[in-house]
Amino acid sequence: MVDLLNFREGETIGETPVSIEEFLGASNATAVRIAPGEDARALLPHLDRIALVEVAFPAFGDGRGYSSARILREAGYRGELRASGDVLVDQLFAMRRCGFDSFAPDKALDPAAVEATLSRYADVYQKSVDGRRPIWAKRHEVN
């Protein structure tokens, strides 16, 4: 297990996440894991008791987790949102934009490459859930 990459203020959650099924059962868990085919919206009624959602990326090319993350943030989830598995450095930029704030990659990422990829684009074209003002908003700013 490599170190977690943390972009949160404060510590990451240590609790081992349980499956959605277990979580929705009688569990007292506050950490839950979403597999690619699972519906993130099943968690929406319970967001106030969740501290960590881990979104699994068994293969980097399966992009369902990006939608899962954005759906949770759009619904106001403020806890830790972790991408775990086959997470590559060149994906961090988009993942951060979709609301992920911690990463548990299978293979350790080079800190310099992480820094470079996250600082590369000064601006963004879309509004997402990361609070960045899109280019279209900046273009029509009233000074």
Partner 1 sequence: MYLYDSYDQAMVDARVEEFRDQARRRLAGELTEDQFKPLRLMNGLYLQLHAYMLRVAVPYGTLSSRKMRMLAHIARKYDRGYGHFTTRQNIQYNWIKLEDAPDILADLATVEMHAIQTSGNCIRNISSDQYAGVAADEITDPRPWAELLRQWSSFHPEFTYLPRKFKICVIASANDRAAMRLHDIGLELVERDGRIGARVFAGGGMGRTPMVAPEIRDFVEEDELVSYLEACLRVYNRYGRRDNKFKARIKILVHELGVEEYRRQVEEEFAHMRQLGIQPPTEELDRIRAYFAPPVYETGLPEEVDRSDPDFALWLDRNVLPHKQPGYAIVNISLKPVGGIPGDASADQIDLMADLAERHSLDQLRVTHAQNIVLPYVKKADLYTIWQQLDAAGLGTANLDRISDMIACPGLDYCSLANARSIPVAQKIARRFAGNGKEEAIGELKLKISGCINACGHHHAGHIGILGVDRKGTENYQLLLGGSGAEDCSLGAITGPGFTEDGVVDAIERATDLYLAQRQEGERFLDTYRRLGMAPFKEAIYG
Told to check if 124 binds partner 1 by CB under 8 A, we report yes
Told to check if 121 binds partner 1 by CB under 8 A, we report yes
Q: Return the number of the residue (13 or 72) whose C-beta is nearest partner 1.
A: 72
Told to check if 98 binds partner 1 by CB under 8 A, we report yes
The whole-angstrom separation of Cα 90 and Cα 78 is 25
For the bound state, the minimum distance from the C-beta of residue 16 to partner 1, rounded and expressed in Å, comes to: 26
Told to check if 47 binds partner 1 by CB under 8 A, we report no
Q: How far is CA 46 from CA 28, 68, 71, in A?
A: 11, 15, 14
Annotate each residue in 54-73 with x if it binds partner 1 (CB under 8 A) or - if it does not, as one string. ------xxxxx-xx--x---
Q: Return the number of the residue (30 or 93) whose C-beta is nearest partner 1.
A: 93
CB 51 within 8 A of CB 80: yes
Segment contacting partner 1 (CB under 8 A): 1-9, 14-22, 23-31, 115-123?
Answer: 115-123
Told to check if 125 binds partner 1 by CB under 8 A, we report yes
Beta strands in the chain (DSSP E): 5-6, 18-19, 31-34, 52-57, 80-85, 102-105
H helical segments located in the chain = 20-24, 64-74, 92-97, 111-119, 135-139
Q: Total residues at the site for partner 1 (CB under 8 A)?
A: 38
Segment contacting partner 1 (CB under 8 A): 10-18, 20-28, 46-54, 134-142?
Answer: 134-142
CB 123 within 8 A of CB 18: no
Q: How many CB atoms lie within 10 A of CB 46?
A: 13
